[in-house]
């Protein structure tokens, strides 16, 4: 029976390799663990979708993964910025070489159309529309069809990227009847609800929301260097370099516009074991998020050392434990601090991450040295200190556990810990914490739930503790949605009920401060306050685990998503 099963598994693996599409010689094959949910540029749903869309469509600005700098893409240069008391004005000009696939130039009118479309009623893009609420109007230049100014409410430093970080879309593709041509952007913003009732916008939304816009290879096309050539659901997605493509003719050379591979093939292999076998068989040129054990094994074996370069870039994925400060038994910060000292961060990093993680004192990555509070100590596993903190918080240890009178009623210190089902790291971290808490007489019940179930519990504040990942970046420290007390009510983003009037003021100053020296002082102060309050107990920033074939040259490896850039890469002869 065992031999039969092994043969079946081998047969299945051979089928996976033989049934996936065989790319052209110059094609680069990359593993995806799931299909994109949608390739609609207004309503894409997951990371694989965004990765593909970034090859097909373009925004005004981009981030260079090589040095994490903001660069012009469709824009000829970074925008000029002018601030008034209540608004900020971002003036852009589009590259003169930029054009659509039909040969027509990309103009300010296309940017206006894209913003109108982004904010049109009845379109399935509520999630993304909200991110650009700050863009109140667009003013087109009367002298230059490529120039325009975005009028934005207020000013925060992250607007320097956000004001140019939306897909510019071809109106001839998305609106062939010219429905939006005669409607101003301001009118759409002001009359959003009433326009939703009109037959014109109902019919227009039906066209835009059509599933073909998210899957049809003839409809998914923008100004980017690649077109969607083929999508075999559950197997592969093939992107093909356009010939000619306008970006190839830009002179002088612009790194952000490089697109060397003639084909990029994303192989859909959900199962990690099958993906590892494909990698080892050189059926893939690149794989990221490799499970720890096979990654370390391949790194040690000479055979794979000759085939691959291995990379472990530190990411901006922050692992933390959240504590419900609204719960009566967790309202005292000494209690929360006690729980923090029951987490053995070095043990977690060494045993679960193979040492491939970066411990942190807060939400700022340690490599951002200017903003990271290096004066704060990394939390240490310290059971005697945890006990003393519980006693200081008024808890009393009895034969049945810890108890405390709160508002005239005796409460037991018993906790539930939520974590995502199927996430082995979170499962093991939860078990380690459960054991440490038990050794101090604190019973912890583990609950493995789907992400949507955890989100629901967090939004309704029906939880004690949870493990989760927070994905950040080095461009924005606007943490008001996550930490401000105004967002601590049910449904708000401040699910741990962190904060005081003092921290609210810090958050507001951080969001608006542009001088690095001043922002550094504010951020360091906030990190200290957060460690003291311990509503969020920060553990580490994870590191990606990437293998790249030595047949590939000039691949950029980065701590920013997706962790690599292959547009400047090529396969060696």
pTM, full prediction: 0.88
φ and ψ at 186, to 5 degrees? -60, -40
Give how far the C-alpha of residue 159 lies from the chain's centroid of Cα atoms, to the nearest Å. Answer: 18
Give the pair of three-digit tokens for residue 307. Answer: 């085939």
Q: What is the mean pLDDT of residues 271-279?
A: 97
Q: What's the rounded Cα separation, in Å, for the pair 130 and 462?
A: 27
* Contact present, 383 and 436 (Cβ < 8 Å): yes
Residue length of the chain: 573
CA 349 vs CA 263, 322, 342: distances in Å: 38, 18, 15
Locus of tokens 């110059």: 26
Q: Are strands 27-32 and 263-268 parallel, antiparallel or unpaired?
A: parallel
Angle between helical axes of 272-280 and 2-19 (0-180°, round to 10): 70
DSSP E strands in 458-555: the ranges are 465-471, 536-543, 546-549, 552-553
The string of pLDDT tens digits covering residues 353-410 is 999 999 999 999 999 999 999 999 999 999 999 999 999 999 999 999 999 999 999 9
CA 226 vs CA 56, 179, 235, 494: distances in Å: 5, 28, 19, 40
Locus of tokens 């096309």: 221
Among candidate residues 68, 525, 526, the one with its CA nearest the CA of residue 314: 68
Among candidate residues 455, 282, 429, the one with its CA nearest the CA of residue 351: 429
The string of pLDDT tens digits covering residues 58-100 is 999 999 999 999 999 999 999 999 999 899 999 999 999 999 9
Given pLDDT bands bounded at 50, 70 and 90, which one contains residue 113? very high
Give the pair of three-digit tokens for residue 337. Answer: 């601090």
Q: What is the mean pLDDT of residues 541-556?
A: 96
DSSP 378: P
pLDDT(8) > 90: no
Q: What's the rounded Cα separation, in Å, for the pair 496 and 483?
A: 8
User: Half-sphere exposure of 539 toward its Cβ, with a 13 Å CA cutoff?
Assistant: 34
* Contact present, 247 and 533 (Cβ < 8 Å): no
The string of pLDDT tens digits covering residues 11-22 is 333 333 334 444
Give the pair of three-digit tokens for residue 154. Answer: 């207020």
DSSP E strands in 324-460: the ranges are 357-359, 396-398, 401-406, 409-412, 415-420, 444-449
pLDDT at site 508? 95
If one counts every other C-beta atom within 10 angstroms of the C-beta of residue 392, the result is 13
SS3 content of the chain, % helix, strand, coil (to 5): 35, 25, 40
Locus of tokens 């200081």: 392
DSSP 139: E
The string of pLDDT tens digits covering residues 37-63 is 899 999 887 899 999 999 999 999 999
Quote the radius of gyration of the chain (alpha carbons, Å): 26
Give the pair of three-digit tokens for residue 235. Answer: 């197997």
List, in order of start, the domains of the chain with CATH numbers: 58-214 (3.90.76.10), 224-313+546-571 (3.40.190.10), 315-543 (3.10.105.10)
Q: What is the mean pLDDT of residues 167-184?
A: 93
Give the pair of three-digit tokens for residue 8. Answer: 């079946």
Asked whether the bond before 562 is cis by omega within 30 degrees of 0, the reply is yes
pLDDT at site 467? 98
| SS3 per residue for 513-534 | CCCHHHHHHHHHHHHHHHHHHC
User: Half-sphere exposure of 61 toward its Cβ, with a 13 Å CA cutoff?
Assistant: 20
pLDDT at site 26? 61
Q: What's the rounded Cα separation, in Å, for the pair 78 and 362?
A: 31
Q: Long-range contacts for 196-205 (Cβ within 8 Å, ≥24 apart)?
A: 196/121, 196/122, 201/120, 201/121, 201/122, 202/122, 204/120, 204/122, 204/175, 204/179, 204/180, 205/120, 205/121, 205/122, 205/123
pLDDT at site 127? 78
Helix, strand, or coil (residue 332): coil
Given pLDDT bands bounded at 50, 70 and 90, which one contains residue 348? very high
Among candidate residues 174, 38, 187, the one with its CA nearest the CA of residue 119: 187
Q: What's the rounded Cα separation, in Å, for the pair 231 and 215?
A: 8
Q: What percent of the chain is predicted at pLDDT more than 70?
A: 95
Q: What's the rounded Cα separation, in Å, for the pair 511 and 522?
A: 10
- CA dihedral over 110, 115, 118, 120, signed as positive or negative: negative
Mean pLDDT, the chain, integer: 92
φ and ψ at 451, to 5 degrees? -55, -40
Q: What is the mean pLDDT of residues 111-115?
A: 97
Among candidate residues 536, 395, 550, 544, the one with its CA nearest the CA of residue 468: 536
The string of pLDDT tens digits covering residues 205-254 is 999 999 999 999 989 999 999 999 999 999 999 999 999 999 999 998 89
Helix, strand, or coil (residue 174): helix
The string of pLDDT tens digits covering residues 426-460 is 999 999 999 999 999 999 999 999 989 999 999 99
């Amino acid at each position: 029976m065992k031999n039969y099963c092994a043969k079946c598994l081998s047969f299945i693996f051979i089928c996976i390799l033989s049934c996936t599409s065989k790319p052209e010689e110059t094609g680069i094959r990359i593993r995806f663990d799931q299909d994109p949910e949608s390739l609609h540029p207004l309503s894409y749903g997951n990371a694989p979708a965004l990765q593909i869309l970034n090859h097909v469509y373009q925004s005004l600005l981009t981030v260079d993964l090589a040095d994490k700098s903001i660069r012009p893409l469709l824009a000829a240069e970074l925008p000029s910025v002018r601030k008034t008391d209540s608004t900020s004005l971002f003036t852009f000009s589009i590259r003169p070489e930029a054009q659509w696939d039909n040969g027509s130039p990309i103009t300010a009118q296309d940017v206006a159309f894209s913003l109108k479309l982004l904010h049109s009623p009845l379109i399935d893009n509520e999630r993304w529309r909200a991110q650009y609420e700050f863009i109140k109007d667009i003013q087109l230049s009367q002298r230059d069809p490529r120039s325009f100014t975005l009028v934005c409410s207020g000013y925060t430093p992250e607007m320097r990227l956000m004001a140019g970080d939306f897909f510019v879309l071809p109106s001839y593709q998305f609106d062939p009847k010219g429905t939006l041509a005669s409607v101003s952007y301001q009118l759409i913003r002001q009359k959003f609800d009433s326009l939703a009732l009109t037959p014109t916008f109902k019919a227009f939304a039906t066209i835009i929301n059509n599933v073909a816009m998210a899957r049809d290879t003839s409809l998914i096309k923008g100004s980017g260097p690649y077109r969607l050539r083929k999508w075999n659901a559950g197997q592969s997605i093939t992107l093909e370099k356009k010939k000619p493509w306008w970006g190839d003719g830009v002179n002088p050379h612009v790194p952000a516009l490089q697109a060397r591979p003639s084909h990029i093939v994303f192989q859909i292999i959900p199962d990690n074991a099958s993906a590892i076998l494909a990698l080892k068989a050189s059926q893939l040129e690149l794989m990221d998020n490799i499970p720890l054990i096979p990654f370390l094994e391949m790194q040690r074996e000479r055979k794979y050392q000759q085939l691959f370069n291995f990379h472990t870039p530190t990411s901006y994925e922050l692992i933390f434990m959240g504590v419900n400060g609204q719960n009566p038994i967790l309202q005292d910060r000494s209690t929360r601090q006690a729980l923090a000292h029951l987490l053995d961060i070095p043990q977690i990093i060494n045993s679960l991450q193979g040492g491939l993680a970066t411990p942190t004192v807060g939400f700022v990555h340690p490599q951002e040295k200017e903003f990271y509070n290096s004066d704060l100590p990394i939390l240490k596993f310290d059971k005697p200190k945890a006990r003393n903190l519980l006693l200081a918080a008024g808890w009393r240890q009895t034969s049945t556990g810890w108890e405390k009178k709160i508002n005239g009623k005796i409460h037991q210190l018993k906790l539930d810990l939520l974590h995502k089902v199927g996430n082995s790291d979170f499962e093991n971290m939860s078990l380690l914490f459960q054991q440490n808490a038990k050794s101090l007489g604190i019973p912890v019940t583990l609950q493995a739930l789907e992400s949507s179930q955890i989100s629901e519990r967090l939004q309704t504040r029906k939880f004690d503790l949870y493990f989760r990942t927070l994905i950040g970046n080095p461009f924005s420290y606007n943490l008001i949605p996550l930490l401000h007390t105004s967002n601590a009510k049910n449904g708000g983003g401040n699910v741990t009920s962190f904060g005081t009037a003092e921290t609210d003021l810090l958050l507001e100053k951080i969001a608006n401060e542009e001088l690095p020296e001043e922002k550094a002082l504010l951020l360091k102060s906030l990190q200290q306050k957060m460690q003291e309050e311990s509503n969020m107990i920060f553990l580490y920033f994870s590191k990606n685990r990437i293998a790249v074939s030595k047949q590939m040259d000039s691949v950029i490896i980065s701590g920013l998503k997706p962790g690599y850039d292959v547009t400047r890469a090529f396969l060696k002869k």
